[in-house]
A = this chain, B = another copy of it.
Amino acid sequence: MGVVHVAIGGCRIELFQKDKYKEYIKTAPEWMKGMLKAYDDDPYARLVEMAKLAQKDGVIKGILMHQGESNTGEKEWPLKVKDVYDNLLADLNLRGQDVPLIAGEVVNADHGGTCASMNPIIATLPEVIPNSYVISSAGLGCAFDHLHFDAAGYRIFGQRYAAQALKLLGVGLPTAEELMERTVPASTNMHGCDFPRLDQDNRAYFRLFAPDVKRLQVDVCGKRYDMLKDEKGWWSAKTDKLVVGFHYYFLLVDGFSVIDPMSNTFFGCSRMASGIEVPEGKEGDYYRTQNVPHGQVRTVTYFSESQQKFRRCVVYTPAEYEKNTKKRYPVLYLQHGMGEDETGWSTQGYMYNILDNQIAQGKCVPMIVVMESGDVEVGFRPRPNKDANAERNLYGASFATLMVQDLIPMIDKTFRTYTDRENRAMAGLSWGGKQTFDITLTNLDKFSYIGAFSGAIFGLNVKDAFNGVFADAKRSIRR
């Protein structure tokens, strides 16, 4: 796409009228003369000349215009604009129905625009030029002269011009109402929030009201999308196609990363985050609530002797646990990754649905699942002047002591568990995978099942590590 750009600051519209510009130039202020000179004292001729060059390789799809301040109060201004527009059509061999005129308002009354009284006149342009459109300046910031917009204002103004132009080209941004019809709200939204929404291609649509904010972006999985602000103060953005699954995301308000008020909150990235669930199809039913017996997710308070403080862990008990009051159950200890905590697997991971469904289908035996914070909520950062490897071994290491000395005994005392190694498993994601290796392989008398998902491993010598367990796994695990 190309833009033919001809402009003179502070000029009256007469400067572009074929039969008026010569007279006008005689009255032009001193500071304008240099600018005029650059166009050989005939900006309109330059505009046509450039447009004809453009027509050699392209098609003119529209005319953008921004002027009016120096004609403030003149009710006949639209007719003068029409004169320029009609001349352009004739000189470039264009038809009005093919080439819209898109004209913007001057600095708005809502920002004390010096020439804001011109906007009602600009609004009458479509009465004179059928295929013309007026772009609102509502809410756009201005410079202290109240004549120019400020940088943020220009950016948003440009987006509004573009939105109108794209709409006329048939690739317009949908209205909120159109969006509502062909998208669904994300399941992760806050109560009563219609946005964010998802379409069938897994694009996410964001929309929120923040009239005084200067710059707003949405950051989904590290990709930042600039949001577009409309004249009423609503911001919107559309993402690329997203992969299915749960994604943390944030809003950037003037670069300051915050939670989207429209989203539920999830602890991840070492902080509370917004989240959006991009649903799988039918194949994702395994993690959805189904008409099967439902287990419970319990928060259990206990005192940690090793840390000398109260802690709360999360325990899943299978549906039958309430009824079979004599039966004992195997236990899986399930750990989250760095920057997450004991709530992750149940809140964003829907582990209770997955277990309920697996148990109902006979794909796993009823079991208790224990989820504690691995003491890695705050991201790993080695202290200055310390050895990074040594620091890494300290990071989250308190959890090993906690688990062996406090957590397992508490669970076995509180719940009807089997307490032998054959009935105790441990698994973990990422740093939780590292912790799983560190804890289970040094406590093989306590664990017989081990799972590490994307387990974080650093500098392990596979042959020697953990008494050579990786070199001969079968022998080692069986003891």
Contacts and interface: CB of A to CB of B under 8 A. Distances in A.
Contacts of A210: 254-256
A313 to B, nearest CB: 11
Interface string A237-257: 000000000000001011111
- Looking at A148, A261, A272, A303, the one whose CB has the most chain B CB atoms below 10 A away is A272
Interface in A218-263: 251, 253-259, 261, 263
Nearest to A288: B310
B352 A301 contact: yes
Interface string A283-304: 0000001010010111111110
Interface of A: 143-144, 148, 150-151, 190-192, 210-214, 251, 253-259, 261, 263-265, 270-272, 289, 291, 294, 296-303, 310, 315, 322, 325, 341, 346, 352, 356, 377-378, 414-415
6 contacts: A192-B378, A210-B255, A211-B255, A253-B253, A294-B300, A296-B300
A261 B271 contact: yes
Given A144-B148, A296-B298, 15 more contacts: A143-B143, A144-B150, A192-B270, A210-B256, A212-B255, A213-B253, A213-B256, A251-B258, A253-B253, A253-B254, A253-B256, A258-B259, A259-B272, A264-B272, A325-B325
Contacts of A356: 301
A297 B294 contact: no
Contact of A303 (B191, B214, B257, B291): B291
Contacts of A271: 190, 261
B214 A214 contact: yes
Contact of A341 (B191, B254, B300, B415): B191
Contacts of A291: 303
B296 A310 contact: no
Contact of A259 (B192, B212, B265): B265
Contact of A298 (B150, B255, B261, B297): B297
A188 to B, nearest CB: 12
Contacts of A148: 144
Contacts of A289: 301, 310
A251 B300 CA distance: 32
A130 B264 CA distance: 55
A299 to B, nearest CB: 4
A210 B263 CA distance: 22
A191 to B, nearest CB: 4
Contacts of A415: 322
Nearest to A250: B261
A377 B190 CA distance: 9
Given A213-B255, A254-B214, A255-B212, A190 B272 contact: yes
Contacts of A303: 291
A192 B377 CA distance: 8
